[in-house]
């Protein structure tokens, strides 16, 4: 539901990360428009609900729906930094949040942003040393996808403060 501003080569973020209070600024796909609209309805109609904004989820078992597994199957990838949700790190936090009956919206990502090339370099180092990939530009990507993709960094300060609180 967000899209950040990047340098012309799209390798560095220029805009600040999005907080839980920022309004959605990306409507390039039906999914994004629907997600933003439903989140607003949930916020104002059901104040006792916990909304966790997961971004490009990564599992450590190479599940087919994991971001890493998905991008290793693509013929080309864009090299743009994005927030990611590393599930091994975050699922215990989700359980604790539920147990503590937390409510509201949380950017449920790990701190910072990592590019597709950085993710694939780690995959190459850890999983498949012979793996290689090719990049293409957003303009080239637009020719082969059905809907625009958002690229952004989410600010997880609120989540990290809660984690610190849980750690005592």
What contacts 148, CB < 8 A, 6 or more positions away? 26, 28, 29, 142
pLDDT, position 147 = 86
Residue 47 tokens, joined: 């104040």
Write down the H helix ranges in the chain: 30-45, 67-73, 87-99, 116-126, 138-142, 157-167
Alpha-carbon gap, residue 145 to 140, rounded angstroms: 9
d(CA 158, CA 85): 15
Whole-angstrom Cα distance, residue 68 to residue 137? 19
Residue that the structure tokens 């040393």 belong to? 129
Sole residue written with tokens 């990838």: 77
pTM, rounded to two decimals: 0.92
- What is the tens place of the pLDDT at every residue in 121-156? 999 999 999 999 999 988 889 899 888 888 999 999
17 vs 52, 78, 82, 111, 151, CA distance in Å? Answer: 16, 20, 10, 10, 11
The pLDDT assigned to 10 comes to 83
pLDDT (0 to 100) of residue 142: 85
| pLDDT at site 1 | 78
Q: Mean of the per-residue pLDDT values for the chain?
A: 93
Q: What distance in Å separates the CA atoms of residue 97 and residue 77, rounded to the nearest whole number?
A: 34
% the chain with pLDDT above 70? 100
pLDDT at 101 (0 to 100): 97
What share of the chain has pLDDT > 90, as a percent?
76
Return the structure tokens found at 61. Answer: 């078992």
| Residue 39: both structure tokens together | 């989140």
Give residue 162's pLDDT band: very low, low, confident or very high (50, 70, 90): very high
Backbone angles phi, psi at 163, to 5 degrees: -60, -45
Which has more confidence, 25 or 107? 107
Q: What is the pLDDT of residue 156?
A: 98
What confidence tens digit (pLDDT) does each residue in 88-118 have? 999 999 999 999 999 999 999 999 999 999 9
Whether 8 has a pLDDT exceeding 90, the answer reads: no
- How many residues make up the chain in this entry? 168
């Amino acid at each position: 539901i967000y899209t950040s501003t990047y340098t012309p080569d799209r390798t560095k973020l220029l805009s600040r990360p999005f907080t839980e209070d920022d309004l959605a600024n990306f409507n390039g796909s039906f999914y994004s428009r629907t997600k933003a609209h439903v989140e607003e309805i949930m916020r104002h109609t059901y104040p006792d609900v916990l909304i966790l904004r997961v971004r490009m989820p990564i599992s450590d078992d190479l599940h087919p729906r994991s971001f890493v597994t998905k991008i290793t199957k693509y013929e080309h990838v864009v090299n743009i930094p994005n927030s990611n949700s590393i599930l091994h790190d975050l699922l215990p936090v989700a359980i604790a949040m539920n147990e503590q009956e937390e409510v509201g919206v949380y950017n449920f990502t790990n701190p910072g942003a990592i590019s597709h090339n950085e993710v694939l370099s780690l995959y190459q180092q850890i999983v498949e040393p012979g793996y290689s990939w090719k990049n293409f530009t957003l303009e080239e990507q637009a020719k082969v996808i059905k809907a625009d993709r958002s690229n952004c960094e989410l600010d997880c300060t609120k989540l990290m403060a809660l984690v610190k609180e849980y750690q005592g």
